[in-house]
Structure 1
Amino acid sequence: NQGKRYVAQGRVLILVGHAGHPEVEGTLGQIDGPVVLVQSEQDVAALDIAPDTPVAYVTQTTLSVDDTRGIIAALERRYRNIIGPEIRD
């Protein structure tokens, strides 16, 4: 999956989703590397990852673009070296 590819590239994976959701739990279980879950813009602000760290994000597929837009914007403001999937509605 995309998350595994990002981690294989040496990036810290940031998973945007809801704790306890089956998709989130499955993704967390499949990734063999650094991965953190964020559920809100406040979670982004609290991340203990240096701003110059290469990071990538993926989102829980059942969340709408509107649900994730603010969180992704906060990630992009905080991290200079960030990649993520194309945003589709």
Structure 2
Amino acid sequence: MNKKLIPARVVAPGRILVRELEARGWTQKDLAEITNRPPQTINEIIRETKQITPETALELSAALGMSEKFWMNLEANYRLHLAKKQIQFRQS
């Protein structure tokens, strides 16, 4: 078995968040109110300029019915992916 394994596609947490909002018919402002987070925070997560903190992961978990570990793992995997890309870029 010499098949080349290809890693799963890495998705930014903000993209998942957008899909969840669309599925529920919510706006970013709606989610901000539900999670008691500033609307700017939700927008920055969606634009990939802000990371999901443990506190935000807990709030997203409560609001969306997904585990906080899901959000933290998604964020960690995405950030590792970006770091690997940066290292590869520097080495080329």
- Say yes or no: TM over 0.5: no
Greater share of residues in helix: 2
TM-score normalized by the length of structure 2 = 0.30
**Comparing both structures, which one devotes a greater share of its residues to strand?**
1
Report which structure shows greater RCO (CA 8 Å, sep ≥6): 1
TM-score, L = length of structure 1: 0.31
